[in-house]
Amino acid sequence: MITSNEIRNKRFNNSFRGFNREETKQFLGTVANDYEQLYSDNANLQDRIKLLEEELKKYYNIENTMNNCLILAQQTAETVKEQANSEAALLMKEYKRKISEMLMIYQEIIKRLNLFNSELKSNITGHLEMVEKNSKKINEMSDFFYDADMKDILENLEKLELAKPQ
């Protein structure tokens, strides 16, 4: 690539009726200055492009890292969700079993209470029958002892005297 100094120091051969030397020098100076400015701008832009490319690589790396983290987070979430569902299913099964056991125990208690009530009712019925029989006997005895004949006997008893021994 040609440099700005090469443009400034370029010498042309003289020819008859050639270009005006002063104008040519001025023009070449202007071209050299512009070329130098463009070269400097180009170098700055090249440096800037390199910096931006490096920064872009960093962002691509960050993006890849974030994507990997996101994928890992999703996988972890799925694993945790599956584990939670599995644990919930186990707990549900265990609770159902316990509830079933408790219901069976309550059913057994109810059976025993019904049996106890039946026995108690039977005992009470037996006692009531005894009380009824006793009441009948008492009524029969009351009828016997409060009968008019019994009154006569009691009155005659009072009249009775013991015989004196001789």
Domain with 65 in it: 4-149
* Within-domain flag for 155: no
Q: Is 160 part of a structural domain of the chain?
A: no
Phi–psi pair at 52, nearest 5 degrees: -65, -35
State the pTM of this model. Answer: 0.43
pLDDT recorded at residue 129: 93
Residue 22 lies in a domain: yes
Q: At residue 13, what are phi and psi to the nearest 5 degrees?
A: -75, 145
Residue 154 included in any domain: no
What is residue 82's predicted lDDT score, i.e. its pLDDT?
97
**pLDDT value of position 35:** 87
Place of tokens 């920064």: 55
| Model pLDDT, residue 155 | 78
Contact 12, 24 (CB under 8 A): yes
Within a domain: 159: no
Asked whether residue 9 is assigned to any structural domain, the reply reads yes
- pLDDT of 14: 72
For residue 156, is it within any domain? no
CA 32 to chain CA centroid, Å, is 76
Tally of structural domains, the chain: 1
pLDDT value of position 164? 66
Report d(CA 115, CA 104) in Å as an integer: 16
Per the domain annotation, does 112 fall within a domain?
A: yes
CA dist., res. 141 & res. 134, Å (int): 10
Series of mean pLDDT values for 10-residue runs along the chain (166 residues)? 76 72 82 89 96 96 96 97 97 97 97 96 93 92 80 77 66
